[in-house]
């Protein structure tokens, strides 16, 4: 009899313990969610320091908290973008941003973060080149493209890097790929035209620039280079060289 009473008391104790655990977990989640929420609001209104503080607070307790980690990565991203906008050195911040995304990718393998991670890798590559034009950033850009094949900014920079390394043909293929997939990516027309222009193929350069000008008639760069190429072609005709 005593045993039965003890057994029931023991079971009841376990039951209460589990309930308390659930309630504590819910309260903990509620507090955590509250900090994440505050961080998100701060991020949305541009209070990046506060956003970083809130997300960091959550991560101090729960380093694998996906939302807090994503929020922190986005906060560093936003701060770095601000530096970029002000033409201030941003390499360190982009490095930090990429680092957060790298950790985040171990917590979140759903692919939801890939586009943002890819973009931050592009910026890191750009910031690295800004400090050292000879720096090897291809691995960053390859990783960026691997994460998001539709990130044409990374494709474009990769082509520029390859062209400067002398791999002009590969660069041309990349630009052609970009304008095929994203016809309104003006820079690809300009850069591809430039490669033809520099090799003396003015006719081909005109073809590319005028093609871009047709798609983007408001783009002053393309309009200008299309006109330069036209003038050059006219001069060549007049000189009887064409």
Partner 1 sequence: MSVLADCTRATLLHRGGEAQIFRVWVGNKSYVLKWYAEGCKFDAAVSEVLLHNRIDGIYHLMESGEKQGRPFLVYDFVEGVDSAQLTPMPAVEAVASLRKLVATLKRLSERGVHHGDLNPANVLFGSEGLVTLIDCGIVGPGALAYAAPERLRGKPANEKSDAYSLGMLLYYWITGEALVKASSFDEFVDKAAAIDSVDVTSNLYGMMDCLVASRALRGVEDLAKLEPLWKGLFCENPEDRVEDLDELDELLDIALDGLGGNGVGFAKTHEKFVYDIVQKIGTNGNEGPENAQILLEFASERKTKRNKKSLFAIIFIVALLLTVLGIVLQSNGTSVDETGALMLQKSRALNADGVPNIDEKLDSAVMGVDSLILKSLPVPQIGESE
Which residues ranging from 107 to 146 are in contact with partner 1 (CB under 8 A)?
A: 112-113, 115-116, 119, 122-123, 126, 129-130, 132-135
What phi and psi values does residue 239 have, to the nearest 5 degrees? Answer: -80, -5
Binding region for partner 1 (CB under 8 A) out of 23-31, 138-146, 200-208, 231-239? 23-31
User: Is 175 a residue that touches partner 1 (CB under 8 A)?
Assistant: no
Cα separation, 195 vs 205, whole angstroms: 8
Q: Using the rule CB under 8 A, which residue among 52, 141, 186, 192 binds partner 1?
A: 186
Residue 116: half-sphere exposure toward Cβ, Cα within 13 Å: 22
CB-wise, 89 or 242, nearer to partner 1? 89
Cα separation, 89 vs 66, whole angstroms: 29
CB-wise, 4 or 106, nearer to partner 1? 4
The DSSP call for residue 65 is -
User: Is 161 a residue that touches partner 1 (CB under 8 A)?
Assistant: yes
Q: Using the rule CB under 8 A, which residue among 49, 92, 198, 203 binds partner 1?
A: 198
CB 199 within 8 A of CB 172: no
Cα separation, 10 vs 93, whole angstroms: 55
Cα separation, 36 vs 150, whole angstroms: 30
Cα separation, 98 vs 224, whole angstroms: 37
Cα separation, 35 vs 241, whole angstroms: 71
Q: How far is the CB of 1 from partner 1 (least distance, A)?
A: 6
Q: How far is the CB of 194 from partner 1 (least distance, A)?
A: 6
Which residues ranging from 46 to 105 are in contact with partner 1 (CB under 8 A)?
A: 67-68, 70-71, 74, 77-78, 81, 84-85
Nearest to 213 by CA among 200, 202, 224: 224
CB 76 within 8 A of CB 114: no
Q: Using the rule CB under 8 A, which residue among 147, 191, 210, 213 binds partner 1?
A: 191
CB-wise, 5 or 240, nearer to partner 1? 5
Q: How far is the CB of 92 from partner 1 (least distance, A)?
A: 17
CB 39 within 8 A of CB 48: no
CB 53 within 8 A of CB 68: no
Binding site for partner 1 (CB under 8 A): 1, 4, 8, 12, 15, 19, 22-23, 26, 29-30, 33, 36-37, 39-41, 43-44, 67-68, 70-71, 74, 77-78, 81, 84-85, 112-113, 115-116, 119, 122-123, 126, 129-130, 132-135, 151, 153, 156-157, 160-161, 164, 182, 184-187, 190-191, 194, 198, 216, 218-222, 224-225
């Amino acid at each position: 009899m005593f045993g039965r009473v003890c057994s029931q008391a023991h079971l009841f104790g376990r039951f209460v313990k589990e309930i308390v655990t659930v309630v504590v977990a819910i309260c903990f989640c509620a507090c955590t969610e509250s900090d994440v929420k505050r961080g998100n609001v701060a991020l949305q209104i541009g209070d990046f320091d506060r956003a970083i503080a809130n997300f960091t607070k959550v991560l101090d307790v729960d380093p694998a908290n996906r939302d807090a980690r994503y929020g922190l990565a986005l906060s560093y991203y936003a701060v770095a973008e601000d530096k970029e906008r002000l033409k201030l050195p941003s390499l360190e911040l982009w490095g930090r941003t990429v680092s957060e995304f790298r950790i985040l990718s171990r917590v979140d393998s759903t692919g939801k973060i890939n586009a943002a991670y890819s973009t931050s890798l592009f910026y890191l590559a750009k910031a690295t080149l800004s400090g050292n034009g000879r720096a090897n950033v291809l691995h960053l850009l390859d990783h960026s493209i691997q994460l998001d094949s539709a990130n044409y900014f990374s494709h474009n920079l990769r082509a520029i890097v390859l062209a400067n390394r002398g791999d002009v043909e590969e660069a041309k293929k990349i630009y052609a790929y970009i304008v095929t997939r994203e016809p309104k990516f003006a820079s690809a027309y300009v850069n591809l035209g430039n490669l033809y222009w520099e090799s003396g193929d003015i006719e081909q350069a005109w073809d590319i620039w005028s093609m871009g000008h047709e798609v983007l008639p408001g783009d002053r760069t393309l309009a200008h280079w299309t006109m330069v190429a036209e003038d050059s072609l006219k001069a060549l005709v007049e000189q009887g060289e064409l």
